[in-house]
């Protein structure tokens, strides 16, 4: 089934990331997507998204993004998630608040907010 609503598009994107299928995940984003990983900065386009997400997904033996709450209004989808990555160095769980803006059936803006200090601490840095 092809995702139709903004919430379904975001859910399909997340499912593809969890399956570690970035090729599929990137079919849900626009060519000019703005991915703002707030404490780390912005990247643009599918290649920009891949440059940030790729290393995490490729090194993880498991990826699970648990959505605790979500809300959609118009073309906006808000998520409260825990992003889990099983990495060779150990598990990494990141509390994330995310915003997705959909344009023409694809994610045009993806903005995630998380505490970089907590991530650094979890990674031993």
d(CA 44, CA 42): 7
| Assigned domain for 26 exists | yes
Query: Which entry of 32, 47, 75, 112 is annotated as an active-site residue?
Result: 112
Tell me the CATH number at 89: 3.10.450.50
d(CA 100, CA 108): 8
Number of domains in the chain: 1
Supply the DSSP string of the chain, one letter for each residue: ----SHHHHHHHHHHHHHTT-HHHHGGGEEEEEEEEETTTEEEEHHHHHHHHHHHHHHH-SEEEEEEEEEEEETTEEEEEEEEEEEETTEEEEEEEEEEEEEETTEEEEEEEE--HHHHHHHTT-
| Assigned domain for 90 exists | yes
| Assigned domain for 18 exists | yes
Give how far the C-alpha of residue 23 lies from the chain's centroid of Cα atoms, to the nearest Å. 14
Residues 31-72 pLDDT 10s: 999 999 998 889 999 999 999 999 989 999 999 999 999 999
| Assigned domain for 16 exists | yes
Q: Is 83 a catalytic residue?
A: yes
Confidence tier at 125 by pLDDT (50, 70, 90): low
| Assigned domain for 33 exists | yes
**What mean pLDDT is predicted for residues 10-20?**
98
Query: Which entry of 21, 83, 93, 115 is annotated as an active-site residue?
Result: 83
| Assigned domain for 22 exists | yes
| Assigned domain for 42 exists | yes
Q: Residue 113: which domain range?
A: 6-122
**What mean pLDDT is predicted for residues 110-124?**
85
Residue 118 has pLDDT above 90, yes or no: no
pTM value? 0.93
Residues 81-99 pLDDT 10s: 999 999 998 899 999 999 9
């Amino acid at each position: 089934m092809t995702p139709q609503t903004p919430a379904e598009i975001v859910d399909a994107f997340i499912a593809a990331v969890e399956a570690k299928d970035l090729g599929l995940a990137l079919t849900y984003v626009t060519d000019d997507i703005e991915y703002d990983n707030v404490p780390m900065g912005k990247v643009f386009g599918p290649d920009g998204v891949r440059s940030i997400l790729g290393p995490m997904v490729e090194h993880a033996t498991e990826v699970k993004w648990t959505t605790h709450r979500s809300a959609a209004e118009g073309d906006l989808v808000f998520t409260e998630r825990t992003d889990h990555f099983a990495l060779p160095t150990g598990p990494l769980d990141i509390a994330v608040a995310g915003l997705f803006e959909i344009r023409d059936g694809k994610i045009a803006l993806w903005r995630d907010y998380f505490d970089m200090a907590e991530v650094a601490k979890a990674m031993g840095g």
